[in-house]
Amino acid sequence: MRPVYVLSGGVSKFAKARPDKTFQAIVKEAFDASIADLGLEPRQAIELLDGSVASYFSDHFQRQLMSGIMAQDYLGLVPKPSHRVEGGGATGGLCFQEGWKSVASGDMDVCIAYGFETMSHVQTWKGNEFIALASDVSFDYPVGGFYSGYYAMMVTRHMKEFGTTVEQMATVSVKNHRNALYNPYAQKRMALTVEDVRKSPMVAWPLTRLDICTMSDGAAAVWLASEEGLARVEKATGKRLPRVKVAGIGRGTDAMRMADRPHVDYETFYRKYALPIEDTDEGRAYYRDLWNKGFRYPGVHSFRAGRTASAQACKRAGIADPMAELDFVELHDAYTSSEIQTYEDMGLCRYGEGGPLAIDGRTFLPGIDYGLTLSKPSTTPVNPSGGLIACGHPVGATGLMQAVFALWQLQHTIPQHFGDTRLQVPNARRGAIHSHAGTGTYVSVSILEREDGGAA
Amino acid sequence: MSGHDKVPVDETLEGAVVFNVPFPSDLKGLDQMAPIIIKHPYYVDYIHSYGQDSPFFAGLANKRLMGTKCTACGHAFATPRKACMECGAECAWVELPQQARVHAFTVCHFGSEEFLPDCPFVLAQVEFEGFDTLFLTRIQGLDPTAPSLDWIGMKVGARFRRLSRLKPTDVWFEPL
Ligand SMILES: [Zn+2]
């Protein structure tokens, strides 16, 4: 495998509906932004790119098969190689990794990964039906297919196991919406209180409307390149680009039906799922105590795929302690509850400690007033962009949007791109992006790292 | 074709949705045109086979709850699957008890379009003695306006539709 660099990215404005453009033209918006950021003309970009990977989630939303090729020809990239990637909510994250593979394998020197979704083609409740078709249509969908309901079930078990509270979940919503106030790309930019979140209409107990991301129309695009490709792009631009490398990728899977997930014992957990940082006397005593209280893993309260994806990515990136060694994380907060669950899966804390971590301040940005009393200083901001909850979730674009925001963090160009310095993580050198499908069926984690100097 | 009369087109109002779409006299104005948005119906009847899972649905029609058990490792699936997820061996059909406990739940106040008329309803994963995995079902007989974490662990019993619709909603559970 060759080293792979992330060179540039572009994001369209995410909105509830974009009737002003068809999906290809929205992709073109993101594509053109990624080109303009390099200081190139579309004609030069088309010449530099060896091929692409396209991603979108739902053929139902599109009512147009082969949408990938329609984006490819609209961008002027035919007859270059391309393929479409699909993996539910993780579609964008998987697309980023397929782009990485295209370059790491030597198949391409310069590859663009682009993704999109246009979810406004149907009304919200029909859209929920389309999304719920991503659950077993024999056993799950007909019982009351509704993703917010599925996540709500998972979190009631998390609450029962660990004492996680609705206020801890609401605090995630406050943090992410507040961050988005300073992100002009975000769909929902709001200053909220915990009370606002709890008073908002109940969707699936205990999740309210403000605990849940919304549907969006949008697109994102990311350039990936080998060292040769990077040199080729730099020659065309006439300027040196910051060295942002993909330090490691990881993926995991779990059963489509959450009912099928195992409930393993303590020994199996340590043999197959525990992280190196958890393999201490103190860590073992902590988990022994959980198992003695009846805890089993992963059950429906934890995402085993998130754990294995993150463990693989961290191992490849040489990270032993994610909380200490990552400067920020952009993770898949389709629900406030899943942000808390993902803290635990990714090893930002241990299983059972996600609720307290959500409110203590470590996952917040240092320069923002959240209207909350936080007991600890910021260490690893989570979703500094505002995450899915505030930015929107145009599924096929979402994981790529995370890659673009992570790239800008590592380039230290958030102030230029957002027109505000507040969301720039100080001295960001390493960050993770996490993309998640179904009830935790496909999860991808990619770690990006700044190689050269680049003080903020 | 010159010299011939135009063939008259016999148009009816069938399919017409709008009359007199505005159009600018100067073509430069086209880029400022508001998007035209049309409604497009999309209905389909699927022919869905339950395949190897069919005995489960036949069981529901006979007021029996069927799961499977791995013939090699013994892993017992409360939602049936014929291939064992733990070891890959084949699973055999076994009958589930008709009592269970609530493992996790929610109250859906909204839902997919198809289920909106049912809201609010209690959706739950239930666990069975002797089975390693769970089963998704609805719980009737609980007050959806007063949800409580204390529902977790509650004993519930299976109830069956008298006239089967061959859907997993042929069975639901009620507190015992
Ligand atoms: Zn087996």
Please answer yes or no on whether A126 and B113 come within 8 Å at the CB atom.
yes
Query: Distance (Å) from the C-alpha of residue B103 to the closest C-alpha of chain A?
Result: 7
Q: Are A432 and A346 in contact (CB under 8 A)?
A: yes
Cα-based distances in Å from A366 to A14, A102, A373, A381, A407: 26, 37, 13, 8, 20
**Quick check: bond before B41 cis, omega within 30?**
no
Which residues share a beta bridge with A67?
A: none
Query: Distance (Å) from the C-alpha of residue A173 to the closest C-alpha of chain B?
Result: 20
**Structural domain that includes position B66:** 51-175
Q: Where does the pLDDT of residue B15 fall: very low under 50, low under 70, confident under 90, or very high at 90 and above?
A: confident
Distance separating alpha carbons of residues A24 and A33, to the nearest angstrom: 14
Residue B64, domain member (yes or no): yes
> What is the full DSSP assignment across B3-59?
TSPPPPP---STT---S-----SSGGGGGGPPPP--------------GGGHHHHHH
Please answer yes or no on whether A154 and B137 come within 8 Å at the CB atom.
no
Residue B155, domain member (yes or no): yes
Please answer yes or no on whether A128 and B109 come within 8 Å at the CB atom.
no
Residue B147, domain member (yes or no): yes
The residue in chain B having the minimum alpha-carbon distance to the alpha carbon of residue A264 is B132
Identify the DSSP state of B96.
P
pLDDT given for residue A450 in this prediction: 98
Residue B72, domain member (yes or no): yes
Please answer yes or no on whether B149 and A160 come within 8 Å at the CB atom.
yes
Q: Tens digits of per-residue pLDDT, A143-188?
A: 999 999 999 999 999 999 999 999 999 999 999 999 999 999 999 9
What SS3 state is found at A73?
helix
Contact partners, residue B28, CB within 8 Å, separation at least 6:
none
Residue B160, domain member (yes or no): yes
What ipTM does this complex have?
0.95
Please answer yes or no on whether A148 and B108 come within 8 Å at the CB atom.
yes
Query: Distance (Å) from the C-alpha of residue A278 to the closest C-alpha of chain B?
Result: 25
User: Which residue type sits at A311?
Assistant: A
Residue B94, domain member (yes or no): yes
Average pLDDT of the residues in B15-43: 90
pLDDT given for residue B41 in this prediction: 85
Please answer yes or no on whether B111 and A125 come within 8 Å at the CB atom.
yes
**Quick check: bond before A206 cis, omega within 30?**
yes
Q: Where does the pLDDT of residue B6 fall: very low under 50, low under 70, confident under 90, or very high at 90 and above?
A: confident
Distance separating alpha carbons of residues A85 and B106, to the nearest angstrom: 32
Residue A337: both structure tokens together: 């509850």
Identify the DSSP state of A339.
H
Q: Tens digits of per-residue pLDDT, B49-67?
A: 999 999 999 999 999 999 9
Token pair 């011939």 in the structure block, residue = B4
Distance from the CA of B153 to the center of ligand 1, in angstroms? 27
Distance separating alpha carbons of residues B167 and B137, to the nearest angstrom: 11
Which residues share a beta bridge with A104?
A: none
**Structural domain total, chain B:** 1
**Strand ordering across the sheet containing B76-77:** B76-77, B66-70, B91-95
pLDDT given for residue A212 in this prediction: 97
Cα-based distances in Å from A211 to A21, A177, A196: 29, 10, 11
Mean pLDDT of chain B: 94
Q: Tens digits of per-residue pLDDT, A387-445?
A: 999 999 999 999 999 999 999 999 999 999 999 999 999 999 999 999 999 999 999 99
Please answer yes or no on whether A146 and B116 come within 8 Å at the CB atom.
no
Q: Is the dihedral of CA A64, A66, A72, A73 positive or negative?
A: negative
Q: Which of A129, A143, A147, A169 to mutate to test the interface with B (most CBs of B within 10 A)?
A: A143
Burial A440-449 (b: 16+ CB within 10 A, else e): bbbbbbbbbb
Residue A134: both structure tokens together: 């991503």
What domains, with CATH codes, occur in chain A? 5-122+215-237 (3.40.47.10), 248-450 (3.40.47.10)
Q: Tens digits of per-residue pLDDT, B142-171?
A: 999 999 999 999 999 999 999 999 999 999
Which residues in chain A come in under a pLDDT of 70?
A: 453-456
Distance from the CA of B92 to the center of ligand 1, in angstroms? 11
Query: Distance (Å) from the C-alpha of residue B15 to the closest C-alpha of chain A?
Result: 21
Residue B75, domain member (yes or no): yes
Distance separating alpha carbons of residues A260 and B68, to the nearest angstrom: 12
pLDDT given for residue B3 in this prediction: 63
Share above pLDDT 70 across residues of chain B, in percent, rounded to a whole number: 98
Distance separating alpha carbons of residues A204 and A210, to the nearest angstrom: 12
Distance from the CA of B86 to the center of ligand 1, in angstroms? 5
pLDDT given for residue A456 in this prediction: 39
Residue A218: phi and psi, rounded to 5, are: 180, 170
Find the CB nearest A143 among B50, B110, B138. B138
The count of other CB atoms within 10 Å of the CB of residue A391 is 31
Q: Are A450 and A243 in contact (CB under 8 A)?
A: yes
Residue B110, domain member (yes or no): yes
